[in-house]
Amino acid sequence: MQYRFKHKGKIPSLTDGLLESYTHTPTGMEHIDYAELPSRSEMINVINGLMSLLFPGYFGPKRPDRENLPFFTGARLDQIYEILAVQIFMGLRHRCRGDLSSCGNCETLAEDITCAFLKELPKIRQILATDVEAAWRGDPAAKSFDEIIYCYPGLFAISLYRMANYLHKAGSLILPRFMTEHAHSKTGCDIHPGATIGDEFFIDHATGVVIGETTIIGKNVRIYQGVTLGSLRFPKDKDGNLLRDQKRHPTLEDDVIVYAGATILGADTTIGKGAVIGGNTWITKSVEPGAKIILKQ
Amino acid sequence: MQYRFKHKGKIPSLTDGLLESYTHTPTGMEHIDYAELPSRSEMINVINGLMSLLFPGYFGPKRPDRENLPFFTGARLDQIYEILAVQIFMGLRHRCRGDLSSCGNCETLAEDITCAFLKELPKIRQILATDVEAAWRGDPAAKSFDEIIYCYPGLFAISLYRMANYLHKAGSLILPRFMTEHAHSKTGCDIHPGATIGDEFFIDHATGVVIGETTIIGKNVRIYQGVTLGSLRFPKDKDGNLLRDQKRHPTLEDDVIVYAGATILGADTTIGKGAVIGGNTWITKSVEPGAKIILKQ
Amino acid sequence: MQYRFKHKGKIPSLTDGLLESYTHTPTGMEHIDYAELPSRSEMINVINGLMSLLFPGYFGPKRPDRENLPFFTGARLDQIYEILAVQIFMGLRHRCRGDLSSCGNCETLAEDITCAFLKELPKIRQILATDVEAAWRGDPAAKSFDEIIYCYPGLFAISLYRMANYLHKAGSLILPRFMTEHAHSKTGCDIHPGATIGDEFFIDHATGVVIGETTIIGKNVRIYQGVTLGSLRFPKDKDGNLLRDQKRHPTLEDDVIVYAGATILGADTTIGKGAVIGGNTWITKSVEPGAKIILKQ
């Protein structure tokens, strides 16, 4: 069908309306004349490439075999190295100077972070192996390890979190959050890159899980869909501004289980070793080790 | 591997089975010989283009600068204008006549809606600026405005809702719901385009939030993941058919906070100004201004 | 910008680190020298093609009319047949021998499953027609059948579940779970392919819903976002290994309604015919037919 547009003559005035808006809206609603932000599509390429290095044969376009594995791995690393270093640089430069000139340090720091991170991948794989094992122990519906790695959204979210957490601690800016938000969009599971999470972590079903920035989770913890580990109140300074670097989220000790939809809030809330938190509860005080908390019916 | 198919001779009879099914299933399961519905892929292009007009430099493929901004904006508007007008037309025609002929009015109306909507974008940006500011005030984990705009799923869902709400009120059909369902798929946050929502709105984490069609929300309201603002019962006419245009959803006055997983239902349920609703509660009656409601432990 | 990389000389040692990790991590973290797994991108093509056969004109790139419908349908079936048979084969072979040789039976079985499944599509359409009707009866916000088919995430998740359930019962491996996890990622609604679900099933909003592997759901059941139908405890054998084929999930009889965020757990938990389960409840015991259960305020 040929559409007969009658009012395209209005486009210049529509354009003027927006251009005026770009000049007058409060700072921050547009990102013009500043240094480019990291690229969403490049970062998604990097994430896909990293998943294929963590779990070769489960992710990535090509099945590797023992003969091609060295080439496959080296070529993939080479590609990720260049893209990731530039993206980390963009995240740093954006906060450092905010314009197109470079302080020099950002470039060096970006490449150092990239090297250290890629060197860490084998250690991240070791931890993820304990997470896969925990999923196998924790879910009778799992038919095999490969189903967990190939299909389980919780493992995908944990994998991206463990990489983002390393980058976050190494000083990378914006990118770590982008990575966990990518997992959030794919899986519904929102783990802040700043959270601290021990080995053997299993999140079943994953949708609706929120794990806040200053949460501390021990070993062998299992949580279910819809669980929130959040903050109860926000500390402020004397001028009423939020304090952004205080502990605000709870601590879960080793061997804790939290069932679907439980909400656990507060910096001083500690769930003791081996405690079981029933579904749909609202917990704002500490729970003794080994205790079982269940919603009143 | 060359796969040796043995039973491809069955395809004609498989085809006949489906063709017979297309003739005999109840009305509505197929959309054949009727006017084409709006295109999913074109609409996603439009949505991406609109996000780059709302937040230039944060969304879209190219970093704009002060020199190229007029061309960038004009060219983007020109492109969106044509696609959006046709898609709005398809949504209208589909309901108007349901066939390939056109009533004439649909074309005119579609272009009028398109013009008015694009003219509204600067005003929508002003409101979204208050939403960004509210996120900054409401989340200690936010490191900067740019992180909120670049990464936060709640702001993405609110942006699409504010555009879809305008189109919905202007008489566009099907498209507004498609837009909010696109945000729903990306973010887990389901805001009906018919809802009424004031300035300074912040949804943290966003997954699992449902805001029903006739919900009314005041200024400076903050809600968390898993919050439902829903209907309690469905009014029916004397023949037992659902009445589809009655208020069914609650009202939240200014300055209300609703924590994770709370469910607030019913047309007559009003949460008074400044009230705080604790997580995982089930609210079907009005709450006084300033009250704090917490789930019994 | 030309980025000056300084440390790319480290890539060989980074590669060696990963290669060593691929040799030493516990079995299952890499999939090397084994038969290729099904392809994610091919499976997504198959899923999109199947949706266009189930709902022609609502899904798929091209509007069909009565004249082109036979060609459209036959060509689509032909294409899906070949891809799906190979993907089903890959899923079977992976578990059967785990290497590149073929037992011969897997090829035959894969094509038999493909034929039987495609022959079943008209019957699946009949059941889905009752699901669309149930959505229309159950949601006053629905403006028309086409909005439900075109936009509703719950119907998308149910459509993929009904196909995956057939494939699961026919003996297909890995693929059925991949299909429901694809729906899970798109909609936030996680229905295990092994669940048993009657006609006229409606899931509104869908995000956060989890329906476990051994759940049994009758006719005309309606559930809302955030509802979990899960397991309460995991039966183990005398060596402490999980028993993976026992009933662990609840039974919902005909005409049950479950509101947002309710958690219903346990193999012996039966929700009787016509019962209504209020939002945010935690149910671990059976509920009488016709009963109404509401969270204490």
Q: Are the beta carbons of C70 and B31 separated by less than 8 Å?
A: no
**Contact flag A89-C3 (C-beta cutoff 8 Å):** yes
Across-strand partners of A292? A276
Chains touching C, CB cut-off 8 Å, 3+ pairs:
A, B
Alpha carbon A156 to its chain's center: 10
Per-residue pLDDT in tens (0 to 9) along chain C, 297 residues: 567 889 999 999 999 999 999 987 666 788 887 778 899 999 999 999 999 999 999 998 777 888 888 999 999 999 999 999 999 999 998 877 665 666 778 889 999 999 999 999 999 999 999 999 999 999 998 988 889 999 999 999 999 999 999 999 999 999 999 999 999 999 999 999 999 999 999 999 999 999 999 999 999 999 999 999 999 888 888 888 888 778 999 999 999 999 999 999 999 999 999 999 999 999 999 999 999 999 876
Nearest to B32 among C57, C186, C296 (CB): C57
Test A177 with B225 for CB contact under 8 angstroms: no
Please say whether the dihedral angle defined by the alpha carbons of residues C119, C120, C122 and C123, taken in this order, is positive or negative: positive
Hunting for tokens 């959270």 — which residue is that? A195
Give the gap in angstroms from C-alpha A124 to the nearest C-alpha of chain C. 10
Domain range list for chain A? 36-94+106-188, 208-235+246-296
pLDDT, tens digit, for every residue of B160-202?
Answer: 999 999 999 999 999 999 999 999 999 999 999 999 999 999 9
Q: Which of C58, C140, C205 sits opposite B234 (nearest CB)?
A: C140
C210 contact residues in A (CB cutoff 8 A): 205, 207, 225, 260
Contact between A35 and A93 (Cβ < 8 Å): yes
Q: Which residue of C1, C62, C63, C106 to mutate against B (max B Cβ within 10 Å)?
A: C63
Using CB atoms, list chains with 3+ pairs below 8 Å to chain B: A, C
Q: Which two tokens stand for residue A114?
A: 């990239």
**What class does CATH assign to C35-188?**
mainly alpha
Chain A residues within 8 A of B143 when measuring between CB atoms = 173, 244
Q: Mean of the pLDDT values across residues A256-282?
A: 96
Q: Tell me the shortest Cα–Cα distance from C197 to chain A, in angstroms.
A: 18
Contacts of A62 in chain C (CB under 8 A): none
Inter-residue contact A223 to A172 (CB < 8 Å): no
CB contact under 8 A, A85 and C3: yes
Q: Return the residue in A209, A282, A284, A293 with the most chain B beta carbons within 10 A, the one to mutate for interface testing.
A: A282
Query: Computed from CA positions of residues A101, A107, A109, A114, in that sequence, does the dihedral angle turn out positive or negative?
Result: positive
Tell me which chain C residue has its CA closest to the CA of residue A186.
C185
Whether residue B188 contacts residue A188, with contact meaning beta carbons closer than 8 Å, is answered with: yes
Q: Write phi, then psi, for B181 (nearest 5 degrees).
A: -70, -30
| Chain C hits for A108, Cβ within 8 Å | 6
* pLDDT value at residue A125: 96
CB pairs under 8 A between A and B: 186
Please name the fold of domain C208-236+245-297: UDP N-Acetylglucosamine Acyltransferase; domain 1 (2.160.10)
Contact B55 A8 (CB under 8 A): no
pLDDT bracket for residue A154 (50, 70, 90): very high
pLDDT by residue (tens digit) across C217-251?
Answer: 999 999 999 999 999 888 888 888 888 778 999 99
Residues B228, C149: C-beta atoms closer than 8 Å? no
Q: Which fold has domain A208-235+246-296?
A: UDP N-Acetylglucosamine Acyltransferase; domain 1 (2.160.10)
A27 and B55 within 8 Å at the Cβ level: the answer is no
Does 1.10.3130.10 match the CATH number of domain B36-94+106-188? yes
Q: How many CB pairs under 8 A join A and C?
A: 184
Task: Kindly report the nearest CA distance between residue B145 and chain A, in angstroms.
Answer: 6
Contacts of C280 in chain A (CB under 8 A): 261, 280
Yes or no: say if C225 and C208 are a contact pair by the CB < 8 Å rule.
yes
Write down the residue that tokens 């047309």 correspond to: B267
Q: Do C85 and B3 touch (CB under 8 A)?
A: yes
Q: A166-188: b or e for each residue (b if 16 or more CB lie within 10 Å)? A: bbbebebbbbbbbbbbbbbbbbb
What are A8's two structure tokens?
A: 């395209």
User: From C229, which residue of chain A is nearest by alpha-carbon distance?
Assistant: A260
